[in-house]
Amino acid sequence: MKKLLVVLMALCLLCAACTPQGADPTDNPTQNPTQGTTGSTEAGGTATPTPGFIWEGKYASVNGEKVGITLNSDTKDEAASNVSFTISKDTEATLTLNDALSGQFNYYSLLYKSTQPLWIYVGYEKDGALYEELCFLDAASEPKNFNSYIDGFMDGAVAAGFKSIRFDNRGDDTATIELVSLAVTKKDSIDGYVYLANDYIKIGADLVYGGALAYLSYVKEPVALVEMNGRAEVGIGYADLVNADKIMSTDVNLLNNYDPGRLVQQSYYGTNGANDDYEPGNFMGREWNYNPVMGGDRGLYHSKIVDFELTDTHIYVKCRPMDWGKENSPTLSYMESTYSLDGRNLIVDNRFVDYSPYKHMTCNQELPAFYVIEPLYRLAYYEGSKTWTNDTLTFKDDLPFWDGIWPNFRSKENWWAWVNGDDDGFGLGLYVPNVTSVTGGIFQHDGKIKNDPAKSSPTSYIAPLTQLKLVNFKPLEYSYAITCGRLSEIRASIGVLAENKVIDNSALRSYSRPSRG
């Protein structure tokens, strides 16, 4: 991986307890950068209970039918309506269909309950042998749906011969499990991006990159990328300021998606292996901590899409992220993000669960990693104490590459904006309640960006930072807003979000604290 991506490694160097280890989008569903989709698509199907079903110790509800099974487990409750059994801590149970399902599928659903978190291995026939893919189930006292596309779905993979589920108890006590129903189906393939738009902005999540946010354009007014002042500039009405031969693009993605380490995405840091059996990765010649990254890893391997949903109001994505410092090494975790539009605001709700046995350490966490195009090269924020009074802003121009410098920009209003050089600069604002500082800078300032700054090496970056220790099996949840427009509009819009308390990240304070018994 090229040097431009060292930001992810450097945040490990900021850890409190870690020490350094020696295209042209349109509204046409078939004409987006990676043949993406806009509008509504079918939401992920789910398993549903079969009326009158009784398992009798030998049947399971599969696709609404009674199917013969064999179950190896510690105990079974054959008098229960649904498949019910227990497995001791650190032991397994296997449910095997007497006859493998014959139809093709690329998506499966389980409706279940469990008193403990589980790893499960979904088995089906592949190349003449049993293939098992690893999934993670939360503990659930009420019936809960788990849905997943098969491994390789984004590459067009289709499976057949669904055969078994192996349950591995990863909790601290005996697991009591109830499998209500199971379903498999074949869904249409999809290439890359899914989109959502309103009168102000259009966004795109890249399913190849784990559903990370890869596209955002401002559609309320005409925005253009032009050659001006000896460099690439972007702004509202800029096409009217230059000759036609100086117009580089009138469809401008304001996010940088040069590779899986860019984008706007979840990224977290954990163990370095000193107190467990984790083997650290390596990046830029430095040992690298456990680092789930939504988009993928340093070797350009992409994170698996587990599930997604596109409706008229939101995009939902779930992925199994790669470990950044390694190559093609999926982490033992899931990331989920929901993208919703509200005027000129994009609201993003995030959820991360680490299902690993690793003993993590307190680190500075990126909440989120926020990469935009380099023509947004001026950082604006409020660092005073007269919050929400429209007091004078602070501007940072010509910020350097951040690695080894790690500047800190604090704001009690919890927002920062990358804008162009205009008096009321155009750009993107990031609002993260309950987070007061960011680090960041510009890589290859004034570098060559050709006609598409989103696909170019130069980038402007910030990451709001909070010190947290990842907790096994415990959801880490937080939200943020991205606002687009002129700086005065960004500030006013974020002010309304703050006044109405649209986002509440107060739970971040207690996430790593031990639970009180």
In tens, the pLDDT along 324-381 reads: 999 999 999 999 999 999 999 999 999 999 999 999 999 999 999 999 999 999 999 9
C-beta of residue 166 within 8 angstroms of C-beta of residue 93: yes
What CATH number labels 3-41+193-510? Answer: 2.70.98
**Rounded to whole angstroms, how far apart are CA atoms 112 and 118?**
11
**Rounded to whole angstroms, how far apart are CA atoms 44 and 39?**
15
C-beta of residue 440 within 8 angstroms of C-beta of residue 379: yes
Give 453's DSSP letter. G
**Rounded to whole angstroms, how far apart are CA atoms 217 and 250?**
10
Cβ count within 10 A of residue 375: 29
**Rounded to whole angstroms, how far apart are CA atoms 42 and 307?**
12
Per-residue confidence (pLDDT) for residue 15, from 0 to 100: 40
**Helix or strand holding residue 8 (H, E):** helix 7-13
**Rounded to whole angstroms, how far apart are CA atoms 205 and 208?**
9
CA-wise closest residue to 490 among 425, 398, 436: 425
How wide is the angle at C-alpha 490 spanned by C-alphas 485 and 492, nearest 5°?
A: 130
Question: What is each CA distance from 196 to 41, 160, 306, 503, in whole angstroms?
Answer: 11, 33, 20, 21
**Rounded to whole angstroms, how far apart are CA atoms 509 and 434?**
9
Give the pair of three-digit tokens for residue 402: 């951040």
Question: What is each CA distance from 74 to 33, 87, 138, 475, in whole angstroms?
Answer: 52, 5, 20, 29
Per-residue confidence (pLDDT) for residue 370, from 0 to 100: 98
Residue with tokens 């350009």: 300
Question: Which residues share a beta bridge with 346?
Answer: 341, 482
**Helix or strand holding residue 513 (H, E):** none
**Exposure on the CB side of residue 46, measured as CA atoms within 13 A:** 12
Interacting residues of 170 by C-beta distance below 8 A, sequence separation 6+: 90, 116, 117, 118, 119, 355, 357, 473
Per-residue confidence (pLDDT) for residue 45, from 0 to 100: 61
Per-residue confidence (pLDDT) for residue 375, from 0 to 100: 96
Per-residue confidence (pLDDT) for residue 506, from 0 to 100: 94
**Rounded to whole angstroms, how far apart are CA atoms 252 and 375?**
11
What CATH number labels 59-185? Answer: 2.60.120.260
How wide is the angle at C-alpha 126 spanned by C-alphas 123 and 128, nearest 5°?
A: 115
Boundaries of every domain in the chain: 3-41+193-510, 59-185
Per-residue confidence (pLDDT) for residue 5, from 0 to 100: 41
Q: pLDDT tens, position by position, for the chain (517 residues)?
A: 333 444 444 444 344 334 333 333 333 332 333 345 554 454 456 788 777 788 999 999 999 999 999 999 999 999 999 999 999 998 999 999 999 998 899 999 999 999 999 999 999 998 888 999 999 999 999 999 999 999 999 999 999 999 999 999 999 999 999 999 999 999 998 889 999 999 999 999 999 999 999 999 999 999 999 999 889 999 999 999 999 999 999 999 999 999 999 999 999 999 999 999 999 999 988 999 999 999 999 999 999 999 999 999 999 999 999 999 999 999 999 999 999 999 999 999 999 999 999 999 999 999 999 999 999 999 999 999 999 999 999 999 989 888 778 899 999 999 999 999 999 999 999 999 999 999 999 999 877 887 799 999 999 999 999 999 999 999 999 999 999 999 999 999 999 999 999 999 999 999 987 765 4
Alpha helices in 215-325 (DSSP H): none
**Rounded to whole angstroms, how far apart are CA atoms 147 and 265?**
22
Percent of the chain whose pLDDT exceeds 70: 91
Give the pair of three-digit tokens for residue 65: 């039918």
pLDDT per residue as tens digits for the range 176-218: 999 999 999 999 988 899 999 999 999 999 999 999 999 999 9
**Rounded to whole angstroms, how far apart are CA atoms 131 and 128?**
9
Give 255's DSSP letter. B
